[in-house]
Amino acid sequence: TPDRSLSGRHVLVTAGPTVEPLDPVRFLSNHSSGRQGYAIAAALAKRGATVTLVSGPVSIPVPEGVHRIPVQTAREMLAACEAALPVDAAICTAAVSDWRAKDIAPGKIKKNGDGPPTLELVENPDILATLCRSSQRPRLVVGFAAETDDVLQNAQAKRLRKGCDWLVANDVRHGVFGAMRNTVSLIDDHGLQSWPEMDKTDVAEQLVERIVAFFANPLSQ
Ligand code: C5P
């Protein structure tokens, strides 16, 4: 019989990039494929969880049993996440654009002979940190961190700064965007566990195993 040990649990997952318009035809974004987040959403749904997947634009199908809420910008992603609360757990895999244009030009920005335009950027909200500080904070909040150097030190500091329970750090020096495989370390209150390189679907299964164990016995974590 299938393991439905997360039935009755509601889990929020963020995935994919955000897209920040500059004008009606241009935008700021990044190379996130959404693969790792979608694999986690699928693995959670397989265990019987109610899964809300708040996703930027990606080209992968919605996993079976998952409720997807499509968004474009970081502010839309935050609003969709806050509207999904309360949830038991939040897994933030989205590659949220750190910045957006201060003003979105109403018409296409023209080449007018005065040289390139100056783009004024403003900071986007941090969705993970906002969920961690929420009065409806999920019992378990998991962040992801793509790092290119001092992976572990940076990830440890990031876990504390954001206020999440677990932080999954991945070393993106060797290209992980759009790839099928991933090499990650999981950092919690007790320290760090490095996992061998594996398929993103297996990273998802391993993480969901830990989530099952957390909800079976939160004090043991
Ligand atoms: O600070 P950094 O972007 O490296 O942190 C990565 C983690 O924070 C990921 O879990 C990502 O989904 C989350 N994040 C977020 N909102 C932002 C920036 C990052 O939720 N604006």
Convert the pLDDT of each residue in 163-176 to its tens digit: 999 999 987 776 65
Active site residues: 30
**Would you say 158 and 141 are in contact if contact means Cβ atoms under 8 Å apart?**
no
DSSP SS3 for 110: coil
Cα of 94 vs centre of ligand 1, distance in Å, is 7
User: Could you give the 3-state DSSP secondary structure of residue 2?
Assistant: coil
Q: Is 142 helix (H, G, I), strand (E, B) or coil?
A: strand
In the block, residue with structure tokens 């005065």: 114
Encoding tokens for residue 64? 């079976």
Span 47-74, mean pLDDT?
A: 98
User: Which residues are annotated as part of the binding site for CTP?
Assistant: 98, 108, 125-128, 144, 158, 162
How, if at all, do strands 184-188 and 166-171 pair?
A: antiparallel
Ligand 1 binding pocket includes 145 (Cβ within 6 Å): yes
Best of 28, 58, 77, 92 for a ligand 1 pocket test (most atoms within 8 Å of beta carbon): 92
Cβ atoms 16, 59 nearer than 8 A? no
pTM exceeding the 0.80 threshold for the entire prediction: yes
65 conformational bin, left if phi > 0, alpha if psi -120 to 50, beta if neither:
left
Within 8 A by CB and 6+ apart from 26, the residues are: 108, 109
Q: Residue 181: pLDDT above 90?
A: no
Please give the distance, rounded to the nearest whole angstrom, from the Cα atom of residue 2 to the centre of ligand 1: 33
Ligand 1 nearest-atom number relative to CA 143: 10
Average pLDDT over residues 33-39: 95
Q: Is the CB of 74 under 6 A from ligand 1?
A: yes
- Average pLDDT score, the chain: 93
pLDDT one-digit tens code per residue, 201-221 = 999 999 999 999 999 986 666
Confidence check on the interface: ipTM exceeds 0.90, yes or no: yes
Protein residue whose Cα sits closest to atom 5 of ligand 1: 145
How remote is the CA of residue 27 from the centroid of ligand 1, in Å? 19
Nearest atom (ligand 1) to Cα of 94: 12
Half-sphere exposure of 184 (CA within 13 A, CB side): 24
